[in-house]
Chain A
Amino acid sequence: MKRIALIAPLTGVLLMLFGLADRGIEVPPSAQAADLPWLYPASGQLTVPGSGALVGQSPAMPAACTNCYITKIVPDLVYMNDPLPLDNPNGATANYNNDTNDNVWLHHMVLLDLCTGSAPIFASGNERSVFQLPTGYGYYSGPGCSWIVSYHLHNQNPSPRNVALKLLITYETTAQTRVTPIWLDMKGIQSGSEYVAPLGYSDSHTGETGFAPDYAMPIQGRIVAIGGHVHDYGISVSAYNNRLGEWICTSKGGYGFGSRFLPTGGPDTPGHPAAATTETLNPAYHEPGGSPDNKYHIQSMTPCDLYSRNSVVCLNDVIRLHTQYNNADQFPIADAMGIMTMYVANTSTNPPGVPDADNDGIFDGCDSGDSDLDGFSDRVEFPVGTDSSRKCASNSLDDAWPADVNNDKFSDISDIVQIGSSFGKAVPPAPARRNIAPDPLDGFVDITDITKIASYFGRGCT
């Protein structure tokens, strides 16, 4: 508890945005979902002083549901018992709202689960991105579990405003494939998550001086959702898997068109996009005032496309976080952040979504062993999409042997031609089925793939 008390209030943390990512995974059937609003405080309100801030944390509170699987969370900051009830009725969203009488905003809230060692399970910044797991997956909230929410609110109006934190929780009561949240943070949650971004363009990453070390994955599994968070002037935050030599996710900030905070200047390379995204202004993020009147604060983060290869994380994989800012202000940004949270379905909690062909406890996507002895390791077969437990196709739709691309039980020129048709292309957009080498895979169809399949030329399988 002491640790929670220390971390939660000190931490200038935050997080958000969780992209969908379910491609070709077999999942258990979904039960009917139920929605439940969870408020803090459960009754009454939080009063944010005029032209001030409110930083604090709740006491331990009953979780929104227990012995249940949370599949979606919609975060919000809402008015509650505000002194101006006609303007700000209970439940109305509190934000800049293009209204000088409004201007109460959510710097961050972080939800901690006391049943998991007070690990952060969800967080939201002012973007209020929705956390949404793919069908069949859920965050398990155990019996009797309690939550703590730490929060940091700002009020730029001279008068106090009364608000409440709101989470609209969707949950299932039938078993889902469980996910584990993994928090990735440029500075580290214990260090408050905030760092100083200089004037102009900057590209920072974990592992460099002044930042958190690169992250070593504590579990293996498959990432089913991931999201990022940056502040105003933030271009992007990206996660890179050193083992794969590949980007897992690049999430870009979204700003209303014409925003003064919209940053550009990135090199436009994988993981380092040239600019944040522009989108239709959400008036809730318009802070009125200034000349020109274009204070359109960051209002979204882009989701990520996860596919079979980059979604696999293995025990002790080294993950590096990169964050780009282009600060056009007159001052360094004191509270810059770069955070990602990934939700990983892992073998230790529920095998169905994450196969282990030889039952050796190592998820196929991470296993260098060859369970079916077809010449390709499990960690190659998993992203390629072939069956790690069988060496030969039973029909033309049965992907079993990586060297037999057309599933005719022979590896011959027709298979080489298929791979050759994607020669020189990255995966994606090239089909994952055509990237079969080296081991581990490199995400590219090239001479290594041709050489590998050629080594099986003229061979059949049984």
Chain B
Amino acid sequence: MLVAAMATIVPLALFGAAIAASDVRITALDCASHPRRIAIQNKGDAAQDLTGWKLMSDKPNEVFDLGVVGTVEPGVNFYVFNGHTAPLVPEQVGGEWIYGWNPSEVYDPSLFVLDENGTDFIRLVDASQFPWREVSAMPCAGTLEIPPLQQPATPSPSPSNAEPGAGGTTAQTDGNQAASAQTDGAQSTGASQNASASGSTTASSRTGTTTAQTGNASGQVVGGPASGIGVLAVGSGRPLGGYALPLGLLGIVASAVLALVGGRVLRRALRRS
């Protein structure tokens, strides 16, 4: 019981560190065309290694591992195209790279990870170390609110592609992330989503086409504002920036309560024994 309580407390206490700034930003998003399109730029003065970085959409299995991009030089743009007519292998056009996320020459709407459905979005996450940092996000047209980033339950950084066997990454084929990842990944992620509240929720499936995202075990309170908050100028949803402080305080209070309750339960159990 104590272990369970502590496992719950750790991610809660770390919540406040989830906010981060970065010069690598999502600069444009298209959630309607074939393919869906994401533009990313390094707006800073220094190169940025994207090993362990991810693009994540609204569903847990919708993860694109940006390790394939490598290091992005200052001022450089690159693009991730998704679904129908996305490039099957990374393609350099006009000096800029385009990567395919669930690419397919054949139209299959299930391969799209982005839609103008009122809830969809994309976020850029530095998952190279724990806790993960959401560094940029952008909503699809019509989306009014981006929910906070869910941290993985286990305090481990996202593995790179060179570290097989770890969870939370997307397998890739020739630098692009395969169409079958979506389906297979959903299954793997399903296992991850159903993990117990113990926090040991990291799913790992390196079958070559599997996407798995960690986290979201019940009882966790995780989150973090997106750098794309400013885009969300309209709508009835709570401004995302407002979540940080209240949730952080709430987390601390909740942790203390849970620790007290857990301690009492543990004490009673010891007395009975």
- Is there an interface contact between B28 and A335, defined as CB atoms closer than 8 Å? no
- Is there an interface contact between A55 and B27, defined as CB atoms closer than 8 Å? no
- Is there an interface contact between A196 and B98, defined as CB atoms closer than 8 Å? yes
Is the CB of B154 closer than 8 A to any CB of chain A? no
- Is there an interface contact between B107 and A55, defined as CB atoms closer than 8 Å? yes
Known: A12-B85, A53-B34, A196-B98. A330 touches B28 (CB 8 A): yes
Min Cβ gap A12→B in Å is 6
| Interface size, chain A (Cβ < 8 Å) | 25
Min Cβ gap B265→A in Å is 51
- Is there an interface contact between B37 and A331, defined as CB atoms closer than 8 Å? yes
Known: A332-B93, A332-B94, A334-B86. A51 touches B34 (CB 8 A): no
Min Cβ gap B247→A in Å is 33
**Residues of B close to A200: CB separation below 8 A:** 94
- Is there an interface contact between B85 and A335, defined as CB atoms closer than 8 Å? yes
Q: From B39, B81, B95, B96, give the contact of A334 (CB < 8 A).
A: B81
Min Cβ gap B144→A in Å is 17
Is the CB of A197 closer than 8 A to any CB of chain B? yes
Interface string of A423-457 (1 = CB under 8 A from B): 00000000000000000000000000000000000
- Is there an interface contact between B116 and A332, defined as CB atoms closer than 8 Å? no
Q: How far is the CA of A10 from the CA of B95 in the complex (A)?
A: 27
- Is there an interface contact between B107 and A198, defined as CB atoms closer than 8 Å? no
- Is there an interface contact between A196 and B28, defined as CB atoms closer than 8 Å? no
In residues 26-52 of chain B, which contact A (Cβ within 8 Å)?
27-28, 30, 32-35, 37, 39
Is the CB of A134 closer than 8 A to any CB of chain B? no
**Residues of B close to A332: CB separation below 8 A:** 79, 93-94, 96, 98
- Is there an interface contact between B39 and A330, defined as CB atoms closer than 8 Å? yes
Interface string of B14-32 (1 = CB under 8 A from A): 0000000000000110101
Q: How far is the CA of A198 from the CA of B91 in the complex (A)?
A: 11
Is the CB of A41 closer than 8 A to any CB of chain B? no
- Is there an interface contact between B94 and A199, defined as CB atoms closer than 8 Å? yes
Q: How far is the CA of A462 from the CA of B137 in the complex (A)?
A: 85
Closest to A195 in B: B93
**Residues of B close to A52: CB separation below 8 A:** 109
**Residues of B close to A335: CB separation below 8 A:** 34, 85
Residues of A within 8 A of B (CB): 9-10, 12, 49, 51-55, 152, 154, 156, 192, 194, 196-200, 202, 330-332, 334-335
Instruction: List the 6 shortest-distance A-B pairs measured between CB atoms, nearest first.
Output: A198-B94, A330-B28, A55-B107, A331-B37, A196-B93, A198-B93
10 contacts across the A-B interface (CB closer than 8 A): A10-B105, A53-B107, A152-B107, A192-B105, A198-B93, A199-B94, A202-B94, A330-B30, A332-B93, A334-B87
